[in-house]
Amino acid sequence: MNFSKTQWNLISFIAGILLTLSFAPFNYAYLTLISLVFLFLSWHYSETPKQAAFRGFLYGLGLFGFGVTWVFVSIYFYGGANIYVALFMALVFATFWALFPALTAYISVKIAFLTDKRLLFGIIPFVWIFIEYYRGFWFLNGFPWFQVAYSQLDSAYAGFVPIIGVYGTGFLILMTVSIISYMLMRQRYLITNTVIIFILLTTGYGLKYIEWTYPIGLPIKITLIQGNISQDQKWLPENFTKTLFSYQQMTANNWSSDVIIWPETAIPAYLHTVEAPFLIPLAEKARANNTDLIVSLAAKSEDGLETYNTVLTLGTQRGMYKKNHLLPFGEYLPLQPFSGWVLKTIGVTLGNFTAGGENQPLLTAGRYPFATSICYEDAFASEVLPTLPEASYLVNVTNDAWFGNSFEPYQHMQIARMRALESGRYLARSTNTGLTGFVAPNGKIIKQAPLFEPHTLTHKVTPMGGLTPYARMGDEIILAALFLLMLVLSLYAKFQLLKPQKTK
């Protein structure tokens, strides 16, 4: 393709924006392939690994700069920062995460230059997925936004998710992109590669109709409460009584349900301050109506030194879950003491919570145990898989009010849907301002409440048993298999390159 260096740089940036459009709320899934093809070609036409890294950085800047504009909304409208500080921090945030596509580009092109540049398209998918895993799970507690598989929840690729999860499915998507890029560049093996893509897509489409899990009981009637309490009003003392009364009224109208779920920190107070005057009477009403109530609020440790973000079950039995996978810079401060000093200097105040720990006992509501996740935790399959197969459905409570009317609530719901598809369980998701909804085991939204409206949503959820293939294996086995595949292909490619060429 006859583009100049400057044009390829611009194409890389625009391609990053296109990838954003493949995710919610836009959902143009086909743009994932188009965006990545242009990116891969820009790396192919790079003269050095550093030039490829720069184009990867521009791609990431377009992706994160446009896709996470909700960072500015959160910092400016709800974090207390002035507009210049908010813009600066949002830019720093996008710039930082843009380094990961840059790193992917540098490593991929560097390896290709050290071996054979013709192998570049075969190298990229492996490097991409390993770096995506590092970014999404390990680094700073993980930031899995814009992993390519999430954009394909409604495409044929979704059929692979219950088998090989986000990273395995992402690898297949990237391999498809590599094949298309190779065909555009080399004009070779067109029929063979087209057949491979056709088989891949038809297989994925067929897999979508397989039910990997099965009902283990009668459906339970669940009601989700969306209180729609604005974040800037939620913690004001003068609104405390009004907030509790609102949730009480919405709950009282739904005592016929087996389970009623309130959103994250729906009760704007610490547990010990509302235990006697509010929670004990509420639990008695729940028991009288044979209903299990799931509420959320902050709790202090016995010595008062630690704070937890919790979910509490009230009714037939009481239990507590303490959030374990905390949000960096939102619920705890990594990179201390530097990060704390920076935020204090610019006048931004954030939470300081303690992780609840792994292997917490499952909570039970509606006679069945369920897997609990609080807000950001639903972005991690690793938080759900250890609860299976015991957990018969999933519950997520969230407060996306921090991000106002931005892309974030839609992106977050898209990520939450993946957990239902991976586990083969129904998901009941209660949020403060939206998007509250029910998700089926196939990842499809059954019901969804509108944004920024007080709303109750009721649906009968079937408790499920069994395990999907992915739930049996987990990410580690899949990533290990990809690593072994990479080694085998690398040895084969090296053998082919060293093999003497036949002469006529």
Mean model confidence pLDDT for the chain = 92
Catalytic residue among 208, 234, 322, 323: 323
Q: What is the pLDDT of residue 118?
A: 84
pLDDT confidence tier of residue 231, bands split at 50, 70 and 90:
confident
331 assigned to active site: no
Q: What is the pLDDT of residue 115?
A: 84
Segment 394-434, tens digit of pLDDT: 999 999 998 989 999 999 999 999 999 999 999 999 999 98
pLDDT confidence tier of residue 342, bands split at 50, 70 and 90:
low
Catalytic residue among 375, 377, 383, 408: 375
Distance (Å, whole) CA 198 – CA 191: 10
Distance (Å, whole) CA 65 – CA 62: 5
Segment 163-222, tens digit of pLDDT: 999 999 999 999 999 999 999 988 788 899 999 999 999 999 999 999 999 999 999 999
Q: What is the pLDDT of residue 186?
A: 82
Mean pLDDT of 109-135: 93
Q: What is the pLDDT of residue 261?
A: 98
Mean pLDDT of 319-341: 73
**The pairing of beta strand 445-448 with beta strand 214-215:** unpaired
Are 222 and 175 in contact by the 8 Å Cβ rule? The answer is no
323 assigned to active site: yes
Q: Is the bond preceding 219 in cis, omega lying within 30 degrees of 0?
A: no
264 assigned to active site: yes
User: Is 472 exposed, middle or buried (CB count within 10 Å of its CB: 0-12, 13-18, 19+)?
Assistant: middle
Under DSSP, the state recorded for 76 is: I
Mean pLDDT of 236-241: 92
| Angle between helix 31-44 and helix 49-67 axes, rounded to 10 deg | 150
pLDDT confidence tier of residue 384, bands split at 50, 70 and 90:
very high
User: Is 138 exposed, middle or buried (CB count within 10 Å of its CB: 0-12, 13-18, 19+)?
Assistant: exposed
**The pairing of beta strand 445-448 with beta strand 427-431:** unpaired
Mean pLDDT of 120-124: 95
Mean pLDDT of 449-462: 96
Segment 29-51, tens digit of pLDDT: 999 999 999 999 999 999 999 99
pTM of the full predicted structure? 0.93
Nearest to 123 by CA among 102, 103, 109, 106: 109
pLDDT at 501 over 70: no
Q: What is the pLDDT of residue 503?
A: 53
What is the percent of the chain with per-residue pLDDT over 90, rounded to a whole number?
Answer: 81
Q: What is the pLDDT of residue 504?
A: 46
Enumerate the β-bridge partners of residue 29. none
pLDDT confidence tier of residue 73, bands split at 50, 70 and 90:
very high
Catalytic residue among 132, 208, 234, 264: 264
Show me where the domains of the chain are located.
Answer: 5-211+471-498, 214-467
pLDDT at 81 over 90: no
Q: What is the pLDDT of residue 110?
A: 96
pLDDT at 116 over 90: no
Least confident of 289-293, 355-359, 395-399: 355-359
Distance (Å, whole) CA 316 – CA 318: 7
When the candidates are 3.90.1150.10, 3.40.50.150, 3.20.20.80, 3.60.110.10, the CATH number that belongs to 214-467 is 3.60.110.10
Q: What is the pLDDT of residue 331?
A: 73
